[in-house]
């Protein structure tokens, strides 16, 4: 029987790639990639020439059974996403679950993920936190925000730059304008930036400064 490796890849700087991640990808019989074009650039940079197959949210339900069969037959398969750790707001959970159910060893390498550096650099408490990822766009969004308004732990969100201002405005409405927060963007990239302040101050800042790049929002829990 083979093994499934879940391999984190850099969220920005290619130097964040670990030696072990490179070794695993070079030794794998097959690399599953969220976007083969994006991952092709990464693999070429590290001179990894192994076979690659597309594995994303639109086809994972159709491909997972065959992947499990290949691992059971003895192949070692590595899963990567466009950036960061697969399964964290990216495809990965379904394959990991089905492999575990089939008795296959699933090993996730430690490595890059955007929310950890954003959380630690925010200046907000990070001893206890909850990760929400992307909020629902429509159905269930208000219900979720109402529930989170009473959350005592620091809350971590992912957001698109195109929706950031709308989301911060909603946070101010549901959590209170004076709630402390931080917006981190372009983690590990040239234009990395963390903006800290109250939700009202962040709304004001990003009204005047158009947000760009990948976004992580850190919101302080309610102070009881």
140-190: per-residue pLDDT in tens?
999 999 999 999 999 999 999 999 999 999 999 999 999 999 999 999 999
Percentage of the chain lying above the pLDDT 70 cut: 100
Residues 16 and 88 in one domain: yes
pLDDT band of residue 41 (cuts 50, 70, 90) is very high
* Coil/strand/helix, residue 80: strand
Confidence (pLDDT) at 60: 82
Confidence (pLDDT) at 45: 95
What global pTM score does this model have? 0.92
The mean of the pLDDT values for the chain is 95
Residues 142 and 71 in one domain: no
Confidence (pLDDT) at 221: 97
Confidence (pLDDT) at 58: 85
Triad 19, 23, 26: Cα angle to 5°:
140
Residues 174 and 119 in one domain: yes
Residues 119 and 94 in one domain: no
Q: Which of 78, 108, 138 is the last residue of a domain?
A: 108
pLDDT digits (tens, 9 = 90+) for 59-68: 888 889 999 9
Domain containing 140 equals 115-219
Which residues of 37-128 form beta strands (DSSP E)? Answer: 52-54, 76-80, 105-108
Task: With respect to residue 224, please indicate whether it lies within any of the assigned structural domains.
Answer: no
Lowest-pLDDT choice from 1-15, 48-62, 64-78: 48-62
Confidence (pLDDT) at 157: 98
pLDDT at residue 223 greater than cutoff 90: no
Residues 191 and 136 in one domain: yes
pLDDT band of residue 16 (cuts 50, 70, 90) is very high
Q: Which of 108, 127, 159 is the last residue of a domain?
A: 108
pLDDT digits (tens, 9 = 90+) for 74-122: 999 999 999 999 999 888 999 999 999 999 999 999 999 999 999 999 9
Segment 25-53 shows an average pLDDT of 94
Torsion angle, alpha carbons of 203, 205, 207, 211, to 10: -100
Q: Which of 108, 131, 156 is the last residue of a domain?
A: 108
pLDDT band of residue 21 (cuts 50, 70, 90) is very high
- CA–CA gap between residue 25 and residue 14 (Å, rounded): 15
SS (H, E, C) 172-206: HHHHCCCCEEEEEECCCCCCCEEEEEEHHHHHHHH
Percentage of the chain lying above the pLDDT 90 cut: 92
More confident residue, 57 or 55: 55
């Amino acid at each position: 029987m083979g093994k499934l490796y879940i391999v984190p890849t850099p969220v920005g700087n290619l130097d964040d790639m670990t030696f072990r991640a490179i070794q695993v990808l070079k030794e794998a019989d097959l690399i599953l990639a969220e976007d083969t074009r994006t991952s092709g650039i990464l693999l070429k940079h590290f001179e990894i020439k192994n076979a690659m197959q597309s594995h994303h949210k639109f086809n994972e339900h159709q491909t997972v059974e065959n992947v499990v069969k290949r691992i059971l037959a003895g192949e070692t398969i590595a899963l990567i996403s466009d950036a960061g750790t697969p399964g964290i707001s990216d495809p990965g959970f379904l394959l990991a679950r089905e492999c575990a159910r089939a008795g296959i060893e699933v090993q996730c390498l430690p490595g890059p993920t955007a929310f950890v550096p954003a959380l630690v650099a925010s200046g907000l408490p990070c001893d206890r936190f909850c990760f929400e990822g992307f909020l629902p766009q429509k159905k269930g969004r208000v219900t979720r925000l109402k529930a989170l308004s009473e959350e005592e732990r620091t809350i971590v969100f992912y957001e698109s730059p195109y929706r950031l201002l709308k989301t911060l405005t909603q946070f101010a409405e549901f959590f209170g304008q004076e709630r402390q927060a931080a917006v981190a963007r372009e983690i590990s990239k040239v234009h990395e930036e963390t903006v800290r302040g109250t939700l009202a101050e962040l709304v004001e800042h990003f009204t005047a400064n158009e947000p760009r790049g990948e976004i992580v929002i850190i919101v302080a829990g309610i102070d009881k």
